[in-house]
Structure 1
Amino acid sequence: MGGGALLAGAAAWTRTSAMGLPEAALMESPDMQPPLFPKSGPDYQPVVTLNGWTLPHRMNGNVKEFHLVAEPVEREMAPGMIAYLWGYNGQSPGPTLEAVEGDRVRIFVTNKLPEHTTVHWHGMILPSGMDGVTGLTQPGIPTGKTFVYEFDLVKSGTFMYHPHADEMTQMAMGMMGFFVIHPKDPALHRVDRDFVFLLNAYDIDPGSYVPRVMEMTDFNMWCWNSRVFPGISHLVAAKGDRVRVRVDNLTMTNHPIHMHGYDFEVTCTDGGWVRPEARWPEVSIDIPVGAMRAYEFDAIHPGDWAVHCHKSHHTMNAMGHDVPTFIGVDKTQLTEKIKRVQPEYMAMGNRGMADMGEMEMPLPDNTIPMMTGWGQFGPIEMGGMFSVVKVREGLSATDYADPGWYEHPAGTVAWEWTGALPAPASAKDAMTVVPPAGHAGHGTKG
């Protein structure tokens, strides 16, 4: 009965509103869009969504109104590969929503999916009837219908939105997005650059387009915002900037996100801000399933610094998990025989997998190499959950463009030693003494 009253109230509002339904902004470009600075109300430093954008809103009296459209989308995961996903407003993930603590928001959700859906506002404090759980707090939004969610934003922080309707299918198809609520005090937790991205994963066979939604563990496309390296935006910062990175995890496993060249402070979880005296230093932060972690650092070390998931298989693309290990195997004779019927055959794997980063091999349609991406010194030999933090001097506050590869000062790049090598230590010079057979343990010289 309460749900029916809620729906009747929402329907009555849409009939009597002089402004009608807000425009549903659409984004088709996979490129990272510039931050959307506030035009009215409290000031804040807007976020930048990797390979994403912020949804514009309109003011209706003292209410901020947004319009999300749940619909099938095509997402370029990286140049050369398209996925047929479900998302919002033309993309997966959907656009980031930004507002301010204390705002009242009204969010119109139009369903263009082939089945009903809802939106759950993950981690947010709101009335139960706005929580978006099909059957429990509301009926599903039928295909072709628009429902309205309306509530006050009672706390600042970093949150998500995603369905709680046929959740396994709809989230596996890419339905998710960020909701960032800025503090009412513009000076509180202020940073110079604020990046956000979602961790998500898919199982898409090479040559196919639609994820296998029944998969639980064996994913082959590990993504940030439904993108894989080298298609993931760089995180560009000016030297001296205070930088925040907010990471949400909606995959089936945890991800230890590691950033090179810096240590950082963990400053926020999806439960709220971490008090300054409770923050802790890290160089890697593990993001649990269904959770958010934000970290901050001062960009004082110029350069190109890798940032990636430290599970090594998560920095690969389109992995074939049944590939045998050939390390140490002499494939010379086998290669000669295969080339008689397939002249373009190339033997790989007997020296490791780094050859994958250099070879330009024919691939099935609509897939990308397992290792890919090039830097100024050659193939980077990465994929999946990998990007680069680029810190440069002299960037303007609104410049997020790729500055190119870092020009290393003379003498600061590892180099090849061409002089004489020291003679290897002989056993009699070694500190560790191997005991005779039959004796347990090891001894050392005094």
Structure 2
Amino acid sequence: MTISRRNFLGASGGMALISASAVSGRAQAAAIPEAATMKESVMQPPLVPTSGPDYQPVVTLNGWTLPWRMNGDWKEFHLVAEPVVREFSPGMVGHLWGYNGQSPGPTIEAVEGDKVRIFVTNKLPEHTTIHWHGQLLPCGMDGVGGLTQPHIRPGKTFVYEFQLQKSGTFMYHPHADEMVQMAMGMMGFFVVHPKDPAFRRVDRDFVFLMAAYDIDPGTYVPKVAEMTDFNMWTWNSRVFPGIDHIVAGKGEKVRIRFGNLTMTNHPIHMHGYDFKVSCTDGGWVPEAAAWPEVTIDCAVGQMRAFDFVADKPGDWAIHCHKSHHTMNAMGHDVRNFIGVDKKEFAKKVRKLVPDYMPMGTAGMADMGEMEMPLPDNTLPMMTGFAQFGAVEMGGMFSVVKVREGLASGDYKDPGWFKHPEGTVAFEWKGEPKKAERKPPAAFDKTKTAEFTVVKPGKKSPHGNH
């Protein structure tokens, strides 16, 4: 379901009303705005401002921006904390907790100086709160349950009111039973745009949050007490190949913002470019002090943003540089059989298990195209196909697609990059004639779906279980 601002602002006839006794806040906030919801897991178009200060809206990977209404000089939002079902990638879903139908919740966008009123309704089985990570606000609006406010009990609605004192990159998450609620996917992005529309403006602005889950094959609910051994490393609760591509036109200025709510740091690396680190959750890095990188580390609880000019067309990888964070459903007790000849052993095992396939003798790359049955509700450890074959990735991995002639506001997948002749690495077969040096043929798998999950007993073209 996609909700436009026009539909939202015109929906007063369907506005949900909750009794004033269930609301903590000012009397004029008794009429609660309708809570928009979203079930789709693909990137929604940016919510372009139609009134007030101008700004370049953000695009949330596999997500959306929360609509609002104006009530006097207050910009009003409504978040609903509730159980959700989130697709990690085609073939696997998780039973998580989130906001307004999704995990992460919708991105909140506003402008420096705005007065925001955020209604939070709790549909969880336990109490909750929301902390506005990085925002400067009154202590009683900071969202720490028991310390700065009463907990929001199930079925109740609270109101947060504060004026946005600075622009930048922020997030929201609970500060009540944090170990459970954040491990279940409760988080969201909060972007405050500069009051000056020209300040550090870009042509495209992308956001995502990093989270980690441990979901055993065949199960649906994360292990909330897990501390180190996660098997799903996600951007916006999605894993490759289910993470949206980052699409930009040649020559456009692009910003990528991300935050980390996992239990470890993530060195985010982008191929093909060096970029300038432009913003943290503490504020903007002065342009003269912005430093060049190709990899920027993001520690737990931090936000980072970097800018670059998309002047090099191609399909450029972007990913966490911890190799086990670009894997799905990875077991932690895998033995190392590299160099071990298991042919005779495999013959004996196949007498009992006809479908047995020995793995790891020559490394793990053969898993990318291996045909093996998969358990219910899980994903291959190494998966995804592009034009030249198996990508052998998972988890925190996507593609920055830069194209010439892309229209402003066009975020559709443009397909795989058409490499100019002579610019693709090729097999050496002796000194070739100049006319014979051609790029390799495209991989046929791109003519079919990138990812398929089969039930036990059937064959997957790239399974690993």
> TM-score scaled by structure 1?
0.91
- Match in the other structure for 1:351: 362
Greater displacement, 337-346 / 291-300: 337-346
CA distance in 1, matches of 2:25, 2:264: 43
Q: Does residue 236 of structure 2 align to residue 228 of structure 1?
A: no
Encode CA deviations 1:34-56: one digit per residue, 9 max, x unaligned. Answer: 11001110000000000010000
How far apart are 1:339 and its partner, in Å? Answer: 1.3
Code of the aligned partner of 1:175: M
> What does the per-residue CA deviation read over 1:247-291, in whole Å, with 9 as the maximum and x for residues that have no partner?
100110000000000000000010000001111000000001100
- Aligned 1:89-100 pairs, distance under 5 A: 89-100=100-111
For residues 62 and 367 of structure 2, the distance between their equivalents in structure 1, rounded to whole angstroms, comes to: 26
The 1-side partners of 2:135 and 2:387 are apart by 44
**Retained in 1: the 8 A contact 2:25–2:158?**
no
Contact 2:275 2:293 in 1 (8 A): yes
Supply the distance in 2 between the matched residues of 1:24 and 1:327 (Cα, whole angstroms).
54
- Secondary structure of 1:276's match? coil
Q: Give runs of ≥4 in structure 1 deviating > 6 Å.
A: none
CA offsets 1:283-312 (integer angstroms, 9 cap, x no match): 000001100110000000000000000000
Map of 1:171 onto structure 2: 182
Instruction: Measure how far apart 1:360 and its partner are.
Output: 2.7
Residue 288 of structure 2 aligns to a residue whose secondary structure is: helix
Instruction: Report what 1:31 is aligned to.
Output: 42
Q: Distance in 2 between the 1:105 and 1:13 partners?
A: 13
Shift of 1:323: 1.0
Cα distance in 2 for partners of 1:87, 1:10 equals: 21
Q: Does 1:145 align with 2:156?
A: yes
Residue 327 (str. 1) matches residue 333 (str. 2): no
Write the distance in 1 (CA, Å) between the matches of 2:412 and 2:302: 29
- The aligned counterpart of 2:283 is 272
Partner in structure 2 of residue 442 of structure 1: none
- Alpha carbon RMSD of aligned pairs, Å? 1.5
Task: Provide the identity percentage.
Answer: 75
Change (3 A) 1:17 1:148: closer
Q: Shift in Å at residue 13 of structure 1?
A: 3.3
Q: Which residue of 1 aligns with 2:249?
A: 238
Query: Does the C-alpha gap of structure 1 residues 400 and 247 become closer, same or farther in structure 2, counting only changes over 3 Å?
Result: same
CA distance in structure 2 between the partners assigned to 1:31 and 1:11 by the alignment: 35
> Is 1:55 matched with 2:75?
no
Amino acid at match of 1:300: D
Cα deviation code 1:295-349 (max 9, x no counterpart): 0000000000000000000000000110101100101001111111222221211
Shift of 1:29: 0.4
Q: Does 1:404 align with 2:418?
A: no
* SS of residue in 2 equivalent to 1:277: coil
1:157 aligned to which of 137, 153, 168 = 168
Shift in Å, 1:67: 0.2
Amino acid at match of 2:176: A
> Which residue identity lines up with residue 13 of structure 1 in the other structure?
R
Q: Retained in 1: the 8 A contact 2:22–2:157?
A: no
Residue 119 in structure 1 maps to residue 130 in structure 2: yes
Residue 362 in structure 1 maps to residue 373 in structure 2? yes
Instruction: Name the counterpart of 1:74.
Output: 85
Q: Quick one: distance in 2 between partners of 1:192 and 1:272?
A: 20
Shift of 1:419: 1.3
Give unpaired runs (5+ residues) of structure 2. 1-19, 432-465
Distance in 2, Cα, partners of 1:17 & 1:393: 48
SS at the partner of 1:215?
Answer: coil
Q: How many Å separate the matches in 2 of 1:364 and 1:95?
A: 31
CA pair 124-416 structure 1, distance change in 2 beyond 3 A? same
How many correspondences in the alignment?
413
User: Residue 282 in 1 paired to residue 262 in 2?
Assistant: no
Cα pair 2:24 2:157 within 8 Å, conserved? no
Which secondary structure does the structure 2 equivalent of 1:335 belong to?
helix
Cα separation, partners in 2 of 1:219 and 1:12, compared to 1, 3 Å: closer
TM-aligned CA distance change 1:117 to 1:347, over 3 Å: same
Equivalent position of 1:21 in the other structure: 32
Q: Deviations over 1:234-253 (max 9, x none)?
A: 00000000000001001100
Q: For 2:358 and 2:130, locate their aligned partners in 1 and report how far apart those are by CA, in whole Å.
A: 49
Name the counterpart of 1:45. 56
Deviations 1:5-32 (A, max 9, x none): xx99964635x558x2101000000101
Higher-Rg member (1/2):
1
Which residue pairs with 1:253 in the alignment?
264
| Unpaired segments ≥5 residues, structure 1 | 1-6, 421-446
Residues 59 and 341 (structure 1), Cα distance of their counterparts in 2 relative to 1, 3 Å cut: same
Counterpart CA distance in 1 for 2:374 and 2:29 is 54
Evaluate the alpha carbon distance shift between residue 192 and residue 156 of structure 1 in structure 2; reply closer, same or farther with a 3 A threshold. Answer: same
Separation in structure 1 between the aligned mates of residue 49 and residue 428 of structure 2, nearest angstrom: 54
Q: Deviations over 1:74-108 (max 9, x none)?
A: 00000000000000000000000000000000000
2:368 counterpart SS class = helix
Q: Which amino acid aligns with 2:289?
A: A
Task: Give the whole-Å Cα distance in 2 for the aligned partners of 1:224 and 1:399.
Answer: 22
Whichever residue aligns with residue 191 of structure 1, its letter is: V
1:263 corresponding residue in structure 2: 274
Partner secondary structure for residue 161 of structure 1:
strand
- Tell me how far apart the structure 2 counterparts of residues 367 and 11 of structure 1 sit (CA, whole Å): 42
Instruction: State yes or no: 1:187 paired with 2:205.
Output: no
Aligned-partner residue type, residue 193 of structure 1: R
Q: SS where residue 334 of structure 1 aligns?
A: helix
1:337 aligns with 2:348: yes
Question: C-alpha offsets along residues 97-138 of structure 1, whole Å, 9 cap, x if unaligned?
Answer: 000000000000000000000000000000000000000000
Q: Distance in 1 between matches of 2:82 and 2:152?
A: 13
Distance 1:248 1:62 in 2: 30
Structure 2 counterparts to residues 427-438 of structure 1, below 5 A: none
In 1: Cα distance, 2:274 partner to 2:42 partner: 28
Q: 1:130 is matched with which residue?
A: 141
In the TM superposition, what is the alpha-carbon distance from 1:181 to its structure 2 partner? 0.2
